[in-house]
Chain A
């Protein structure tokens, strides 16, 4: 019977060892995120966004100081009209009469609104990040290895985790009311959450379409049409009266034999079948500030990936009703002429006064 004893002892030992790793059945819910406070950055120097932007000297600046900024999130990519980037706006420094400013934080990850809420305070440790210009706007990102760009997206989660920290939730920032075209053109307002009142529709469209003129499916990247320039006002909005246009809707237009961009294609001998999928195109509508403000052209930037892309512009606006827009003021100057743009966060930013 000794064998039975040995086997029994071995079996019990096996059971005891194995019991140690039975899988758990229940898990407690994780604790809420840690909320960072000023105290967590006591070993760094707080700078305002204005001070930070002032560090930019015309070429990319790799920050090698232990400085940080504290700002509130003023943008959301929930609607899809912003992609991989976020705008933050600080409180300035009232003691030193430094006004609040905003900056684009080139995060590089998608669906940022899940992690960074409108109004939430965030801290950005700036050491190892890079200040750089993109067509006239200074932003904060990572060092770029592409000579075409001064900054790159931060993008890598380890980099984000070591540079961007979530602070307290707070009420969303109140939009700054821009009262004149000078306000629109004021560099200090770029990136801020703003409201512009009294806008009207210009019946003008900014369109870049890539197409394949000889149909050989080659070198399509070099073949593009800037319709606002080539077509001018003769073609109005080219028959597109939505805020933007999705790929499916664009395909539907190409499939529609009646649709020819208000006669533009026919006038210019362009065969629609030469457009190359996947389509590359940019479409944004133009608006005009009120006469009181100065009556400047303002492009409301929209993306074909925005959820509201195929939503028709309110008929009242198309019929010349004035409206107010709230969103992010941006600027784009590719060298030809400055473009003051307005980035909608969502269609909730469009208000037609009764």
Chain B
């Protein structure tokens, strides 16, 4: 037997329950003898061709042998046609195929130690050691794990190594499965923020112990909740695309369920030390799992610390810890109860995007404007501080082999904070604020009216040579401004650090039942309930040398300075005390409101299986409601008092009304938005003997908008985005998979149409001196493309060629409507207006006459449209490819070398630039040049990347395992790889008054060459 094959089998996740039957008592020794006629015709043909059947009779004279049934671990469904090969040493002794009920038999085996390898399309290959001792050993069940289950991946396997929180991405873009495509793409593509099929991360369903964990407010995947707990959370089950899972009908971007229970953590001690140069320097991790003890108990713990900075982005650091503790008790063969608690307390410094001008000035595309030196040390103003414990209580009942039910109660609580600079009536402290840059003083085009080339030169010199710390936050100045702002009440801070808190209380219940009605039919079903109350508020994190800060709305103060009530963040406090609250460290201020979300769902999936055919239909019905509950009364939006009367102060009515005559209010309960949703799905797969599998899925889904998409300005008032609708999605895929003899290939074609999406963008606009909000509705997208993944052995021992291709077209297909508001006013700037250049913009024909190029017109004087340029779903390569070599030796060396290509990546668009207002300019005249300039979408340059990895592990005394793995990414040190960014939602007036110009966009870049080294020890 080749060492390569052996190693590949070891490295790939194998899960065998060789003696599972001891506890289940479910074996049937009197199964009828297997017959080839029980098999489908195609399989019979294959068996005839190979002259093999379910019985293998050796030439030995011994009465020894091995028999059993190959079953799917998930539901003990027989795996018909599974290939079983039995080896003695290196020699292949025989091959059989499982019958329709999964049965197999090797007979007349001489005594000795054998290795039996089991494989089947759609399942992970497995192997089991068997000692033949002169009698027919009944293994009862040999369980195969579906290929969508990732269980206990070995640290030494690079492709699956530690990417959950390796430092490259806290939220992996693709979940590792055992799928060849996601294995490679999930690892190699994460650095460029590749999104599977172009879908947003919130479309990916992530479950924890059967409970859907996507954030109740935003829908985002909550990886940060358990990052750093790799060992405890390693075991997971995944489905790709539309496929239904055992935990729910799911969406169209796969389902991942992290098992999280102690019995799913690999037994033994593990210790590892990891260093990487792309995000944090050091990770220390320890874990222990008992496995299931004889008394039915199992327990596990996992702790880790992630510390330090990195080589590329100054100011980004981790001081994060993680803990996990779990205990589980199996009371008898029927009942199991488990409890888990975990959290990842800590903080980490964040990075900021900047304009290309800034990056060029400082000579680095990984410049970070969030930090400056204080006390000689780097201090980051934007720090995420979290501690959100999650507790899970899970009960599982298995009254029979054919019936399993579980009930899970999950509670998430704690705090989630994000610090940021806040300032009152003082210059913008951000070093890369546009007024501090050379381009603010001089632009070549005189129409910008920026003509001071000398001041631009001064600014350039200051930036390039970092004179007086120009490149960074000037903490000394911020403190000194506060020191010197002396009032009768002490030093009133002008600059502070605020902490924006999003503290969730999230209670979930998930009940599932799985019933295997017959060998042909299995039914999964369940119910999900969610109760969420999230409090959004700010606290004063640091007064930066001052004594107090006033709880007033400085944005409102500009416009309503002479009104003592309208500038109040807490009007009730003002009315009671006659002045705004003086804030000390730790006080709440600014805004404070609850987001309430209620969610319920009921789902069922019917699975059919006959011969080589598998199919399912799945349906889910859901109900979602949410509302806002303001906890403070803001002066701008006083609303009605507790008795329903108008608010009055000093004879003036403070209550304001919207266009429909309803009081605009910041305090109290908003209208309740309610949505009924449903999903229907179907899929079919056909296994063709020889390792082929063809399968397809189709589904139609409706989803409720999230809370974060539903309010025009939740910080200030209860006003909902007009005309909220459910998102409607149709999706289908067609797949072919081949898996045999070391070959692993998958090809998929997919098509998804998403309609009626809603989005709210919010940002600080210093020209308005306020936060401004764009609420868009009616956003439609279409995602179509192909995926290819392959791994092919080459005629060199241990070497294989591997690669993936993801090629799609992800485009916007509608022009949405937009409502623009600002926080400091009830004024609606754009009221449900069309964004006419969102999905595309016209490109006009040009002609050159006498050396002068101008836009061509037709006979009526109209400009001629040459084509409509599509606008693309941004922030992910729409063309991504990888080609590489994989080597694995029998002595546990392994190595990978991959070349990656990424193209067709587009910048995130803002709606303002696609409006008639922006394209027309101040003069109101729309010209072809203005449309093409203002509405176009930026496309990033394509990039090549080279990654390599190497590793080795040693086993000592068959008990201890130590090893290392070293990975080097971006070996070519390409420092010009844009991974994302956004357009600033602001316009620049022109001197001519004929047009607007854009503000420069901001970008994120990938790190240059970086390493990750992991050393581990386990026993």
Interface residues of A (CB under 8 A from B): 1, 3-4, 7, 10-11, 14-15, 17-19, 21-25, 27-33, 78, 80, 109-111, 114-115, 117, 142-143, 145-146, 152, 155-159, 161, 216-219, 221, 246-248, 305-311
Contacts and interface: CB of A to CB of B under 8 A. Distances in A.
Contacts of A7: 962-964, 1015, 1017
Contacts of B309: 21, 23
A293 B516 CA distance: 105
Contact of A27 (B377, B458, B924): B377
B275 interface: yes
A50 B766 CA distance: 39
Interface stretch (B178-186, B384-392, B475-483, B502-510): B475-483
Given A109-B427, A114-B481, A143 B561 contact: no
Contacts of A158: 458-459, 461-462, 467-468, 470
Contact of B275 (A18, A143, A305): A18
Smallest CB-CB A-B distances: 6 pairs = A18-B282, A307-B561, A158-B462, A30-B476, A28-B375, A18-B281
Contacts of A78: 425
B549 to A, nearest CB: 14
B374 interface: yes
A156 B458 contact: yes
Nearest to B463: A158
B453 A145 contact: yes
B559 A15 contact: no
A114 B282 contact: no
Contacts of B379: 24, 27
B485 interface: yes
Contacts of A32: 480, 483
B663 interface: no
Contacts of B375: 24, 27-30
Nearest to A307: B561
B494 A15 contact: no
Contact of A15 (B282, B454, B461, B993): B282
Given A33-B480, A217-B924, A4 B308 contact: no
B1017 A146 contact: no
A210 B476 CA distance: 44
Nearest to A306: B561
5 contacts: A21-B309, A24-B375, A156-B455, A158-B467, A310-B561
B997 interface: no
A114 B424 CA distance: 10
Q: Most chain-B Cβ atoms within 10 A of its Cβ — which of A18, A25, A161, A305? A: A18
A159 B455 contact: yes
B427 A110 contact: yes
Contacts of A145: 451-454
Interface in B948-966: 954, 956, 960, 962-964
Contacts of A23: 307-309, 317, 319, 349, 378
Contacts of B281: 17-18, 21
A103 B545 CA distance: 33
Q: Most chain-A Cβ atoms within 10 A of its Cβ — which of B441, B484, B558, B560? A: B484
Contacts of B51: none
A11 B1016 CA distance: 9
A17 B452 CA distance: 48
Interface of B: 273, 275, 281-282, 284, 307-309, 317, 319, 349, 374-375, 377-379, 425-427, 436, 441, 451-455, 458-459, 461-462, 467-468, 470, 475-477, 479-481, 483-485, 494, 545, 557-563, 825, 923-925, 954, 956, 960, 962-964, 993, 1013, 1015, 1017
* Interface residues of A, dominant DSSP: loop
Nearest to B544: A29
A16 B945 CA distance: 31
Contacts of A29: 375, 479, 545
Contact of A3 (B307, B319, B378, B962): B962
B76 to A, nearest CB: 41
Given A3-B962, A22-B308, A111 B426 contact: yes
A11 B427 CA distance: 47
A14 B194 CA distance: 31
B560 A218 contact: no
Given A4-B1017, A156-B459, 7 more contacts: A3-B956, A7-B964, A30-B479, A110-B427, A142-B455, A155-B441, A307-B561
B559 A4 contact: no
B275 A30 contact: no
B712 to A, nearest CB: 19
B562 A218 contact: no
A6 to B, nearest CB: 9
Contacts of A24: 375, 377-379
B470 A157 contact: yes
Given A30-B479, A114-B426, A114-B481, A311 B273 contact: no
Nearest to B952: A3
Given A21-B308, A23-B308, A216 B924 contact: yes
Contact of B441 (A156, A308, A310): A156
Contacts of B452: 145, 152
B373 to A, nearest CB: 9
Contacts of A18: 275, 281-282, 307-308
Q: Most chain-B Cβ atoms within 10 A of its Cβ — which of A21, A158, A221? A: A158
B982 to A, nearest CB: 25
A114 B273 CA distance: 49
A308 B480 CA distance: 27
Contacts of A19: 282
Contacts of A117: 484
A3 B1017 CA distance: 11
Contact of A161 (B275, B468, B545): B468
B381 to A, nearest CB: 12
A157 B483 CA distance: 21
Q: Most chain-B Cβ atoms within 10 A of its Cβ — which of A29, A161, A246? A: A29
Nearest to A5: B962
A142 B453 CA distance: 12
A336 B601 CA distance: 77
A247 B963 CA distance: 69
B925 to A, nearest CB: 8
A114 B485 contact: yes
Given A27-B374, A27-B375, A221 B317 contact: no
B166 to A, nearest CB: 15
Nearest to A246: B559
Contacts of B425: 78, 111, 114
A150 B729 CA distance: 63
Given A22-B319, A29-B479, A157-B436, A14 B964 contact: no
Nearest to A18: B282
A217 B926 CA distance: 13
Contacts of A114: 425-427, 481, 484-485, 494
A158 B545 CA distance: 25
A15 B468 contact: no
Contacts of B563: 310
Contacts of A30: 374-375, 475-476, 479-480, 545
Contacts of B923: 217-218
Contacts of B545: 29-30
Contacts of B377: 24, 27
Contacts of B925: 218
A308 B1013 CA distance: 63
Contacts of A31: 476
A101 to B, nearest CB: 27
B950 to A, nearest CB: 14
Contacts of B557: 307
Contacts of A310: 561-563
Given A11-B1015, A27-B379, A216-B924, A309 B561 contact: yes
A241 B307 CA distance: 63
B427 A218 contact: no
Nearest to A169: B484
B282 A14 contact: yes
A74 to B, nearest CB: 17
